Amino acid sequence: MKVLSKLKSERGLWMADAPVPEVGPNDLLIRIRKTAICGTDIHIYSWDEWAKKTIPVPMHVGHEYVGTVAGMGSEVRGFKIGDRVSGEGHITCGHCRNCRAGRRHLCRNTVGVGVNREGAFAEYLVIPAFNAFPIPDDISDDLAAIFDPFGNAVHTALSFNLVGEDVLITGAGPIGIMAVAIARHVGARHVVITDVNDYRLDLARKMGATRAVNVAREDLRAVMAELGMTEGFDVGLEMSGNPQAFRQMLDTMNHGGKVALLGIPPADTSIDWNHVIFKGLEIKGIYGREMFETWYKMVALLQSGLDISPIITHHFPVDRFEEGFEAMLSGQSGKVILDWAD
């Protein structure tokens, strides 16, 4: 089968041939229809320090996808051939304390599809049936293909009650922009997003941001004053991984504010802990998606009218994958979809 593989320890990905993976008794075989490119895939493509120490070579990568069930192991129940599915990319152990308590997103032995084991940039993918998520007929292939990052946005945004609250989102990457739409949909008052990239800030405006602020040019505190915000943000969603953005968030939070951290900062990032302590901030780290409560909420949010479709800005047939990666690398894109099959 055709795969997009990290064949060599250098920049790039290569179209290659690989055997169709074997299906174990508890597995599903999925025929991939569409995949999306994640920031993680960009790290792997660019072959940065993280990728060098994490990704085995050769291996085909990718973990954002939609496909149809093409085969299943003898123990699998609840799926049939042809079912449309996406899948949770974190494969959990099932036997640690958190797994056994139903808190699978906190499994200490998580293995990542397309990171620690073969991925979805392939004609066929095998995952445990437990990880597969059925897609209702009224949700398009394009949207189903981005359930993984949409789930990051939903998990983060729904960590705290947003109804009637003023929300700051730092980082207008695809996940931050989707979080804008979610916060708006569930009833936040002001949804302010920051970035240094005008293309992405424009997209965030289209998705419902009260104000999309380029912090390289604009003063966030002046924006808050214009909006009549005299005290500070009630909820912060950090989605940039940028230390300056995180510091600005801590500085502009109201006392008693709640902060969810999704963005991954450099290891030695320092902050002013006085904000955390004297404002009594509550800080929560977010990893992945809750299994499968976040997936349930994604479907429910879309079925209750949430529109995230503008976040998909580019489509390419998979043979033109390099153009897709270039679009992502340019910063002038939202999500980029690669089509594998009709």
**Residue 319, both tokens:** 């043979």
Q: Is residue 269 annotated as part of the catalytic site, yes or no? A: no
State the minimum distance, in angstroms, from the CB of residue 112 to Zn ion: 14
Range 48-77, binding ligand NAD (CB under 6 A): none
Closest CB to ligand NAD among residues 84, 275: 275
Q: Does 195 bind ligand NAD (CB under 6 A)?
A: yes
Q: Does 286 bind ligand NAD (CB under 6 A)?
A: yes
Q: Does 107 bind Zn ion (CB under 5 A)?
A: yes
Q: Tell whether 263 is in a known binding site.
A: yes
Q: Which stretch binds ligand NAD (CB under 6 A): 60-68, 78-86, 234-242, 250-258?
A: 234-242
Q: Does 93 bind Zn ion (CB under 5 A)?
A: yes
Which listed option, ligand NAD, Zn ion, none, makes contact with residue 235 (CB within 5 to 8 Å by class)? none
Q: Tell whether 169 is in a known binding site.
A: no
Which listed option, ligand NAD, Zn ion, none, makes contact with residue 35 (CB within 5 to 8 Å by class)? none
Q: Is residue 252 annotated as part of the catalytic site, yes or no? A: no
Q: Does 254 bind Zn ion (CB under 5 A)?
A: no
Q: Which residue in the shown chain puts its C-beta closest to Zn ion?
A: 107
Q: Tell whether 93 is in a known binding site.
A: yes
Q: Which stretch binds ligand NAD (CB under 6 A): 29-37, 105-113, 170-178, 219-227?
A: 170-178
Which 3-state string (H, E, C) describes the chain?
CEEEEECCCCCCCEEEECCCCCCCCCEEEEEEEEEECCHHHHHHHHCCHHHHHHCCCCEECCCEEEEEEEEECCCCCCCCCCCEEEECCEECCCCCHHHHCCCHHHCCCCEEECCCECCCCECEEEEEHHHEEECCCCCCHHHHHCHHHHHHHHHHHCCCCCCCCCEEEECCCHHHHHHHHHHHHCCCCCEEEEECCHHHHHHHHHCCCCEEEECCCCCHHHHHHHCCCCCCEEEEEECCCCHHHHHHHHHHEEEEEEEEECCCCCCCCCCCHHHHHHCCCEEEECCCCCCCHHHHHHHHHHHCCCCCHHHEEEEEEHHHHHHHHHHHHHCCCCEEEEECCC
Q: Tell whether 315 is in a known binding site.
A: no
State the minimum distance, in angstroms, from the CB of residue 141 to ligand NAD: 21
Contacts of 148 (CB under 8 A, 6+ apart): 36, 38, 63, 64, 86, 88, 89, 289
Q: Which stretch binds Zn ion (CB under 5 A): 11-19, 108-116, 193-201, 258-266?
A: 108-116
Q: Does 242 bind ligand NAD (CB under 6 A)?
A: yes
Q: Which stretch binds ligand NAD (CB under 6 A): 70-78, 260-268, 301-309, 334-342?
A: 260-268
Closest CA to 177 of 296, 312, 302, 65: 312
Note the residues at the interface with ligand NAD (CB under 6 A): 39, 152, 170-176, 194-197, 200, 215, 239-242, 244-245, 262-264, 286-288
Catalytic residues: 40, 43
Q: Which residues are annotated as a binding site for NAD(+)?
A: 175, 195, 200, 262-264, 286-287
Note the residues at the interface with Zn ion (CB under 5 A): 92-93, 96, 99, 107, 109
